Amino acid sequence: MKPLQRPAHRAPAILLFALSLAGLAGCATVANPNPRDPWEGFNRGSYRFNEGLDRVLLKPVATLYRDKVPPLVRTGVSNFFGNLGDGWSAVNSLLQLHLQDFEENLARFQLNTMFGVFGIFDVASEFNIERHSEDFGQTLGRWGMPPGPYLVLPFLGPSTVRDAAALPVDYHFDLAGQIGNNTGRDLVWGLKFVDKRANLLRVGNVLDEAALDKYSFTRDAYLQHRRAEIYDRDDNRDVPPPLPDESAEPSSAAPSSAAPARQPASAPAR
């Protein structure tokens, strides 16, 4: 049996391109920026790009996938990718010294892989074994690395400087990248992306109706969600105070002088 091979030594071209563009973010500014979003000019442009890509390509493909693929098959696909994620979540739980989460994530991965046909069936949930989704950005935050400014990555969507720096590590250890040859990996990544976007179709419709300035709403919701993921338990450590406006509800106010943009469903919040 041929052993699993590491994915290519370089990150996907899309990831490198997105990170390169993000490095130019400091050149694009707006007057009186939000303290958490000093690169708002760049971010709004990236947001509009992602929304245009989603409108003409990603959402139609995801809608076709949802409408044509039977629900049972779609559930199996989502379970399969969720099971692969449990393996990396277990590693990050261990790195964060969250030992109970590590045990539960590892138990989920082992049980679903062995008895759930490589995770197609979510056997672990039937035994009430909880899933704890963790990534390397959360691990960095657990050990005190600040998030840095908010960042909207082309193709990849909402992030922060810390989370963007963690993306190559998450990619390298994503088990989906260990499957087959280059063509096989591309197909797996494509299916994973379409499945994730299809699961967010309803959320995107709600956002379209809820927010006047979808960019601000998405930014505030993402930052609050990531903060909650990192400080979601008593770690016997000091929790840094939020930056200005971080404790406020996600904004639904009218847009600022920069043009508003729709939710970039091409890259859901991590």
Is residue 37 in some structural domain?
yes
| Bridge partner list, 153 | 157
Q: Is residue 105 part of a domain?
A: no
Q: What is the model's pLDDT at position 17?
A: 52
Q: Would residue 44 count as lying in a domain?
A: yes
Residue 182 is assigned to a structural domain of this protein:
yes
**Model pLDDT, residue 21:** 53
Cβ atoms of 138 and 95 closer than 8 Å:
no
The number of folded domains in the chain is 1
Specify the pLDDT at position 209: 73
Residue 163, domain extent: 13-70+131-230
| Residue 104 resides in a domain | no
Write down the H helix ranges in 116-200: 123-126, 136-142, 161-172, 182-199
pLDDT at res. 12: 55
The one-letter amino acid at 157: G
What is the spatial distance between Cα 191 and Cα 179, in angstroms, rounded to a whole number?
13
- Tokens linked to 59: 């959402």
26-40 b/e with 16+ CB inside 10 Å = b? Answer: eeeebeebbebbbbb
In-domain check, residue 238 = no
Position 177 scores a pLDDT of: 80
- pLDDT computed for residue 27 by the predictor: 53
* Within a domain: 115: no
Query: pTM value?
Result: 0.77
Long-range contacts, 209-214 (Cβ 8 Å, 24+): 210/252, 211/250, 211/251, 211/252, 212/252, 212/253, 212/254, 212/255, 212/260, 213/251, 213/252, 213/253, 213/254, 213/255, 213/256, 213/260, 214/260, 214/261, 214/262, 214/263
Which distant-in-sequence residues (6+ apart) come within 8 Å of 17 by Cβ? Answer: 154, 155
Residue type at 194 in one-letter notation? V
Backbone angles phi, psi at 86, to 5 degrees: -60, -35
What pLDDT is stored for residue 33 in this prediction? Answer: 74
- Domain assignment of residue 125, yes or no: no
- Do the beta carbons of residue 210 and residue 223 sit within 8 Å? no
- Helices 201-210 and 59-68 pack at an angle, to 10 degrees, of 130
pLDDT per residue as tens, the chain (270 positions): 444 444 444 455 555 555 555 555 445 556 677 899 999 999 999 999 999 999 999 999 999 999 999 999 999 999 999 999 999 999 999 999 999 999 999 999 999 999 999 999 999 999 999 999 999 999 999 999 999 999 999 999 999 999 999 999 999 999 888 876 778 888 999 999 999 999 998 887 777 776 678 899 999 999 999 999 988 765 555 556 565 555 444 544 433 333 333 333 444 444
